[in-house]
């Protein structure tokens, strides 16, 4: 049986995802950020998290990993954590002015990266790609 001309879909998709992820990580690092920082900032800006547990779920990481990132971001002056006055066990996370500035800088980087990814693809191709990716995700 001859070898297939293209790698199995799972391997091809994994290699593509790894390449895109590395390039996005590099772009964010060049802007003074990282993927975890970007995901945390965008989740806070969207208003998704009500507390740290919700924020960890929104970002897709464990609570301990989130705490590590929040500690570093707080030390860098990007955010503050405050106790919820109605439930002192809950900490609310808020961006500082530096956090807002970092969000806007990283948003510009993410937008430019997205534009780079879309280069040479038509709107119709992008719609098909989005549909195919959703279907692949549903299959797993």
CATH number of the domain that residue 69 is part of: 1.10.10.10
Residue 92 bridge partners (DSSP): 82
Give the range of the structural domain holding residue 58, as residue numbers without chain letter: 14-139
6 lies in a domain?
Answer: no
Number of structural domains (the chain) is 1
Cα 26 from chain centre:
13
pLDDT value at residue 54: 83
77 lies in a domain?
Answer: yes
pLDDT value at residue 34: 94
Distances (CA, A) of 138 to 13, 59, 127, 132, 135: 15, 20, 17, 10, 5
Residues of the chain with pLDDT under 50: none
pLDDT value at residue 3: 65
pLDDT value at residue 125: 97
7 lies in a domain?
Answer: no
127 lies in a domain?
Answer: yes
pLDDT value at residue 129: 96
pLDDT value at residue 50: 66
Phi and psi of 92, rounded to 5°?
A: -90, 145
pLDDT value at residue 55: 86
pLDDT value at residue 21: 96
20 lies in a domain?
Answer: yes
18 lies in a domain?
Answer: yes
Phi and psi of 137, rounded to 5°?
A: -60, -40
pTM of the model as a whole: 0.83
9 lies in a domain?
Answer: no
66 lies in a domain?
Answer: yes
pLDDT value at residue 1: 63
pLDDT value at residue 59: 87
């Amino acid at each position: 049986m001859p070898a297939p001309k293209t790698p199995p879909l799972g391997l091809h998709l994994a290699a593509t995802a790894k390449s895109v992820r590395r390039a996005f990580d590099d772009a964010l690092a060049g802007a003074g950020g990282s993927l975890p920082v970007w995901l945390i900032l965008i989740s806070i800006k969207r208003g998704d998290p009500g507390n740290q547990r919700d924020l960890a779920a929104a970002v897709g990481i464990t609570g301990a990993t989130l705490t590590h990132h929040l500690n570093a971001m707080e030390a860098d002056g990007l955010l503050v954590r405050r106790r919820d006055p109605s439930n002192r066990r809950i900490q609310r996370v808020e961006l500082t002015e530096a956090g807002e500035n970092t969000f806007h800088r990283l948003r510009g980087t993410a937008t430019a990266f997205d534009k780079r990814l879309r280069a040479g693809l038509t709107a119709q191709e992008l719609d098909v790609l989005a549909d195919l990716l959703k279907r692949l995700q549903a299959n797993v």
